Amino acid sequence: MFSILIPVYDYDIASLVTGLQQAVKDIGEYDEIIIGADGCSDDYLGMYEALAKLDKVSLLVSENNIGRASIRNMLAGKAIGDFLLFIDADALIQGNPKDYLRRWLDNYKLAPVICGGTDYHKTPPDNPDKYLRWHYGYHNERKSLKKRRKRPYSTFSGFNFMIESSILKKFKFNEELKKYGHEDTLFAYQLKKAGIAIKHIDNSLIHDGLESNRDYVLKTRDSIGNLNILYDKVTDKRTFASVAGLIKHFSYLRLIGVTRLLAYVYKKRQRRIEIMLRSTKCSLRIFKIYKLGLFSYYRYHKGYSAS
């Protein structure tokens, strides 16, 4: 049987949950929908409590904000299904929710872990202050099924995936990562090391929740900090680099001797580059250099905090 798990922090999921709940009523294989409220405010918690009164919908509450990894593990611990479908709160279902759920039923036997894919609206948001998140997502996270199947581990995303519950009992998301970023990278690395297959199917959801340019830059800095921590901890850096694209690029640039220069550029130009990234004409090439520069700075300045 199947459980649908939705981790959320202060986001309106009424449309997502009601659409799924109506579909679940007609598809007997799905046992439940569990909302995982991660340290949410009272206003949003009231919304989730109202949704939990619907048939087959329940609510799991963490009073404190424990992070994306921990709330996923908590949801998995409560779920009764043999197969767990994780859907991020800011996902938008394209078309009929019944069709979306049935495609999982048609494909769940492919592998212990299956990714459905991430999509973005084809046109940029009306609000220019949300352009960077859309611009990066549309051109970097929105990958064709062919590309995802070619690199199944490096394109793994916790945004929209199904996993056997027995696998998640053995390989939990790393709860040491409290801030945003790269808990999915570490999870994919652990699966690859253990020889657990990840397959990809064409069942994408639209990433509809876009942060402001400033907030996304701040979250990017958090994610690079997490990546730096993980790079020090993993035992097989070659395999980790095959999963984490930024590490792969860093390793090549270090080999040709330019990472210290990148670290220097980051130190001298951080604020100016961040102002550029917050504009509507931001370059993804500059964004990539910014991330590589920050990671390089971490590697050469132990204990540095990107404040």
pLDDT mean across residues, the chain: 93
Beta strand ranges found along the chain (DSSP E): 2-8, 30-38, 57-62, 83-87, 91-92, 113-115, 118-119, 160-164, 198-200, 205-207
In CATH, the number for domain 2-210 is 3.90.550.10
How far is 192 from 239, CA to CA, in rounded Å?
8
* CATH 3.90.550.10 in the chain, residue ranges: 2-210
Q: What is the per-residue pLDDT across 11-39, written as a single tens digit (0 to 9) for each?
A: 999 999 999 999 999 998 999 999 999 99
**What global pTM score does this model have?**
0.93
Return the pLDDT at 301. Answer: 78
Q: For residue 184, how far is the Cα from the chain centroid?
A: 6
Give mean pLDDT in consecutive 10-residue pieces for the chain, a chain of 307 residues. 96 97 94 96 96 97 91 96 97 96 97 98 93 94 96 96 96 83 92 97 97 93 92 93 93 92 91 86 88 93 50
Nearest Cα neighbor of 209 from 307, 91, 66, 81 is 91
**How far apart are the C-alpha atoms of 31 and 27, rounded to whole Å?**
9
pLDDT digits 0-9 by tens, 99-140: 999 999 999 999 999 999 999 999 999 999 999 999 999 999
